[in-house]
Amino acid sequence: MKQYVIITPARDEEEHIEKTILSVVAQTIRPAQWIIVNDGSRDNTGAIIDRYAKQYPWITARHRPNRGYREAGGGVMNTFYDGYALIDVPRWDFLMKLDADLSFGADYFERCLAEFEREPRLGIGGGAIYHDENGELKLEDNPKFHVRGATKIYRRECWEAIGGLLRAPGWDTIDEVKANMLGWTTRSFLDLRVSHQRFTGAADGAWKDCIKNGRANYITGYHPLFMLMKCVRRIGVKPYATGAIGLWWGYMSSYWKRTPRVDDLKLIRYTRNQQMRRLLLQESIWK
């Protein structure tokens, strides 16, 4: 049977993390190891993790000191890699990055692994993120090649081919674009619902989240014209206009500050080529 390992970065998640833990504990196929990294939480997150780690030997608890602030993108990746260093399953087949504010059905991982089994070139996959809006679950819309960073599963061969994850905002797009460039496929499993207990980026606030996403798009190497069209389209999405301004500011301010981009010119060329193909209504991973 294929073995999978989960790494969960968690910061101030006492309100939600127990739902995530209970979802994993109930799985029909449990992970070989689950490493939960408490990123300096100021609430009871660490105590909750420790309680379940004592109860289940396949749960590993790791506690980081509180750096005093939430660091978007790079902070999450530094926390993730703290957990990655603790993997003690030598022959794992799949690696999952799982957020601490999710819940899902008991057969979630079994069905995810079945998708990978059916598609040998599937390198990155995961369930579709849904939010509760007035009692109704609504899908968080994304390009078909994109898997939300909250629930990403990497086939080991693909993980090794892309060289792991960038420790900066944009990591959760760069990994997929590079995987596609190298001949892998990436996609969300729309029939596998993952309930996100809060909207993506809510921890930072809508304005800061939009700026962060604009910066991530710059780091990834987005084409300026594609970025402009993305911002224009964003005007009609809540928060109206503000979100578009935040995206554009995050992108342009990164340009002015000469923020380092992903150090891979071939990947940037591929990204921009795919984006221009999308703007010209040609076949592209952005669809």
CATH number of the domain where residue 18 is located: 3.90.550.10
Q: 108 with 242, same domain?
A: no
11 in any annotated domain: yes
Q: Is the pLDDT of residue 194 over 80?
A: yes
Among 173, 196, 219, the domain-final residue is: 196
For the chain, percent of residues with pLDDT exceeding 70: 95
Q: 21 with 60, same domain?
A: yes
Among 196, 216, 250, the domain-final residue is: 196
Q: 99 with 187, same domain?
A: yes
β-bridge mates for residue 125, sequence order: 153, 187
Greater confidence (35 vs 198) lies with 35
Among 196, 214, 233, the domain-final residue is: 196
What's the structural domain count of the chain? 2
By residue count, the chain amounts to 287
Q: What is the pLDDT of residue 198?
A: 64
Kindly state the average pLDDT of the residues 236-258: 91
Name the pTM for this structure: 0.92
The residue written with tokens 């087949």 in the block is 93
Q: 31 with 138, same domain?
A: yes
147 in any annotated domain: yes
pLDDT confidence bin for 160, thresholds 50/70/90: very high
201 in any annotated domain: no
pLDDT confidence bin for 203, thresholds 50/70/90: low
121 in any annotated domain: yes
Q: What is the pLDDT of residue 112?
A: 97
Q: 216 with 105, same domain?
A: no
pLDDT digits (tens, 9 = 90+) for 31-81: 999 999 999 999 999 999 999 999 999 999 999 988 766 666 567 999 999
Q: What is the pLDDT of residue 69?
A: 63
Query: Domain range spanning residue 232?
Result: 206-279
pLDDT confidence bin for 185, thresholds 50/70/90: very high
